[in-house]
């Protein structure tokens, strides 16, 4: 629930603090996976309840208890037991709460109101269904004690706000357009305004907007952030003032205090890169990004980012490093300051590489038509789109087509493996903590995109990296082009994914490089030394194989 549903709590105080809504979780149905966490000085045997795709989930109940104690009043969440409790929200006044339940296949989402009288009475305020999957969000806002509410939904193809009455019926659509609302930030019920973050002005950026809720003045959203780039906002509880954290691909974050109209009232943290700034020694070497679009097979625009190396000469031919993620709920190409991957991109470009990233179909912030092509077919359009990007790179006069490599982490590692197995011209691939078989990953994430394994056997076979290795006429041709990296205590993407790949590579006679980290979890951040070493190994291998400067 914490990672995949973005639900980081199992209890919720009522607004007047008189009651607590809580969950009771029974994980006994979940299969126990015995795995080994190998550390430098010991090996721990861990019996972990891991709900792999197609297997049993934990059972969750919702109850309410008074602050002073007493009997827990359990909510009847229906006869369908195999569901997800995704959200719980109190209504103003503390006399009612709502919960959102999602079917196991994640194609239906119900918003249910529970009135807390002598009896717990319920009614379904709304239900949404999809032919593919429903993305969760935190956009629900109850506006008054009567129960009118704002609902954030992709029912029209993009995430937009809808106003509903207390009975659940839609009153009107509040926002509309070929853009996405990322987050509902604040609602000023007194003035009838809602503040939100969206990409209405720039698909690669994020701005802050205000929209009137007055039906007599249904104006267009007004942008109140300035400076383009990427804005994160925190509003005061009563609205009006807000903190704006702004950055772009050339400027680290700065924090400003703004009023409701977006006027700057104070600079909280200028974060100017002066002589004392940690980035000052590297500022003169900072390289600009170029942004552009390519066309996918279905005509949709694929956004890319390119950083050319230091002292770039268009008459020379350079190696290219493709940084990929490729999975849903993520956007790699953004106009923001990224202290992890953005700075690593800068480092690689300064070593003589062209660094390239492309957001394939299936990635986030582009609407359902852009995201849905991955449904029941992971490892499909994502790989095709990344290959299209590489084919385009190979046509550029300043790119050496024989020196194109890729690296990725987690889903990006999965993408790196598919590209390695399916792109004969790829010179090198680094796969860190990769998924190899979706049947080994968890239920909520995997089944959202791939459906239940019993309902989609062809899709699971197609998406499995090992399937593609078995199809090769000459598997040994892949030798010497893969560096596999994985933590030996990874409890997210289990080490089993890599051992399955290792076993298959041995069976097929494929030579590859391997680095395992004792005590390493999914992020390989058990210590600063481990993180430095992992990134250093990625750079070392790519340098060895792609030979920048030649």
Catalytic amino acids?
A: 410, 490, 522
Q: Tell which residue, 376, 401, 349, 531, has the closest CA to residue 459.
A: 376
360 neighbors 302 (Cβ within 8 angstroms): yes
Is the separation of the CB atoms in 238 and 213 below 8 Å?
no
First-to-last alpha carbon distance for the chain, in angstroms, is 49
Q: Is 366 helix (H, G, I), strand (E, B) or coil?
A: coil
- Measured between alpha carbons, how far is residue 200 from residues 150, 161, 197, 262 in Å? 19, 14, 9, 17
Q: Which of 478, 398, 492 is nearest to 440 (CA)?
A: 492
Confirm if 511 and 480 have CB atoms less than 8 A apart: yes
CB proximity list for 366: less than 8 A, separation 6 or greater = 180, 203, 300, 331, 359
The CA distances from residue 147 to 86, 117, 150, 298, 361, in Å, are 20, 16, 10, 43, 38
| Gap between the Cα atoms of 90 and 15, Å rounded | 7
* Closest to 168 (Cα-Cα) out of 230, 236, 113: 113
SS3 344: helix
Say how far apart CA 310 and CA 488 lie, in whole Å.
37
Give the span between the Cα atoms of 342 and 280, in whole angstroms.
16
Q: Which residue, chain included where needed, has tokens 């002598």? A: 118
Tokens of 545: 């194989």
Asked if residues 548 and 318 have their Cβ atoms less than 8 Å apart, the reply is: yes
The three-class DSSP label of residue 405 is strand
Q: What is the DSSP string of 261-280?
A: T--EEEEEE-----TTSTTH
Q: Hunting for tokens 């999809």 — which residue is that?
A: 130
Secondary structure (3-state) at 349: helix
Q: Provide the residue count of the chain.
A: 550
Q: Tell me, what DSSP letter sits at residue 316?
A: S
Cα separation, 324 vs 322, in Å, equals 6
Token pair 């109940």 in the structure block, residue: 61
Question: Could you tell me which of 253, 235, 251, 252 has the C-alpha nearest to residue 243?
Answer: 235
Task: Look at residue 402 and give its three-state secondary structure.
Answer: strand
Q: Cα–Cα distance between 352 and 546 in angstroms, integer?
A: 10
DSSP sequence for 449-504 = HH--GGG-HHHHHHH-HHHHHHH-S-GGGGTTSEEEEEETT-TTTTTHHHHHHHHH
């Amino acid at each position: 629930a914490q990672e995949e549903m973005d639900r980081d709590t199992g209890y919720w105080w009522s607004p007047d603090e008189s009651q607590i809504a809580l969950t009771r979780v029974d994980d006994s149905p979940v299969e126990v996976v015995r795995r080994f966490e190998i550390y430098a000085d010991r090996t721990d045997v861990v019996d972990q309840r891991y709900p792999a795709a197609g297997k049993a989930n934990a059972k969750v109940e919702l109850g309410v208890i008074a602050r002073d104690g007493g009997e827990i009043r359990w909510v009847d969440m229906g006869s369908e037991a195999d569901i997800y409790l995704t959200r719980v929200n109190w209504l103003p006044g503390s006399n009612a709460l709502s919960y959102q339940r999602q079917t196991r296949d994640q194609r239906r989402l119900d918003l249910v109101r529970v009135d807390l009288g002598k009896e717990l009475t319920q009614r379904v305020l709304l239900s949404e269904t999809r032919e593919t999957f429903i993305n969760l969000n935190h956009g629900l806002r109850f506006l008054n004690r009567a129960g009118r509410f704002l609902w954030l939904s992709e029912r029209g193809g993009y995430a937009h706000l809808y106003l509903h009455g207390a009975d659940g019926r839609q009153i009107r659509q509040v926002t509309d357009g070929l853009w996405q609302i990322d987050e509902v930030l604040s609602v000023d019920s007194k003035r009838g305004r809602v503040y939100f973050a969206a990409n209405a002005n720039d698909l690669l950026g994020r701005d802050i907007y205000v929209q009137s809720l007055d039906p007599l003045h249904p104006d267009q959203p007004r942008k109140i952030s300035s400076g383009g780039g990427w804005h994160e906002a925190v509003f005061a509880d009563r609205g009006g003032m807000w903190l704006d954290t702004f950055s772009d691909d050339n400027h680290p974050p700065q924090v400003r205090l703004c009023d409701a109209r977006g006027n700057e009232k104070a600079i909280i943290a200028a974060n100017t890169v002066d002589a004392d700034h940690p980035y000052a020694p590297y500022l003169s070497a900072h390289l600009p990004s170029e942004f552009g679009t390519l066309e996918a097979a279905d005509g949709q625009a694929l956004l890319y980012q390119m950083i050319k190396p230091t002292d770039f000469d268009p008459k020379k031919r350079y190696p290219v490093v493709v940084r990929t993620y490729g999975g849903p709920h993520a956007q790699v190409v953004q106009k923001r300051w990224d202290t992890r991957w953005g700075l690593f991109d800068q480092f690689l470009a300064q070593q003589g590489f062209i660094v390239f990233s492309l957001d394939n179909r299936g990635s986030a912030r582009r609407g359902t038509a852009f995201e849905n092509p991955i449904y029941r077919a992971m490892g499909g359009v994502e790989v095709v789109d990344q290959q299209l990007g590489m084919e385009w790179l190979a046509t550029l006069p300043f790119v050496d087509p024989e020196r194109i490599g890729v690296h990725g982490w987690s889903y990006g590692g999965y993408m790196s493996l598919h590209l390695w197995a399916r792109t004969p011209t790829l010179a090198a691939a680094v796969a860190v903590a990769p998924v190899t078989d979706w049947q080994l990953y968890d239920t909520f994430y995997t089944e959202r995109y791939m459906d239940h394994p019993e309902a989609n056997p062809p899709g699971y076979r197609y998406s499995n990296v090992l399937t593609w290795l078995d199809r090769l006429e000459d598997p040994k041709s892949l030798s010497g082009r893969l560096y596999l990296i994985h933590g030996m205590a990874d409890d997210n993407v289990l080490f089993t994914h890599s051992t399955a790949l290792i076993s298959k590579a041995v069976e097929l006679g494929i030579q590859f490089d391997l680095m395992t980290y004792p005590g390493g979890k999914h992020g390989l951040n058990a210590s600063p030394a481990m993180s430095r070493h992992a990134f250093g190994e990625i750079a070392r291998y790519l340098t060895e194989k792609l030979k920048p400067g030649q």
